[in-house]
């Protein structure tokens, strides 16, 4: 169930026209990794803005 929620969250972030791939598609996992990187940057920005 958590996988379905994660997939839905990624689809909302990326747009419905982009495919979401799992570890069964190792050549396509970059989409997921990029999304995680963007989320990490967003958290870092929010932390920095809270300090200032």
Largest CA distance in the chain: 42
Candidate ranges 8-12, 28-32, 37-41; pick with highest mean pLDDT: 37-41
| Total domains, the chain | 1
Q: What is the pLDDT of residue 45?
A: 86
Report how far apart the first and last C-alpha atoms of the chain are (Å, whole number): 38
Instruction: Categorize the per-residue pLDDT at 40 as very low, low, confident or very high, splitting at 50, 70 and 90.
Output: confident
Check: pTM over 0.85? Answer yes or no. no
The whole domain housing 24 covers 2-51
Q: What is the pLDDT of residue 21?
A: 53
């Amino acid at each position: 169930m958590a996988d379905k929620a994660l997939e839905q969250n990624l689809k909302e972030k990326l747009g419905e026209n982009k495919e979401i791939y799992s570890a069964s598609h190792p050549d396509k996992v970059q989409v997921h990794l990029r999304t995680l990187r963007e989320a990490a940057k967003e958290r870092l920005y929010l932390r920095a803005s809270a300090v200032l």
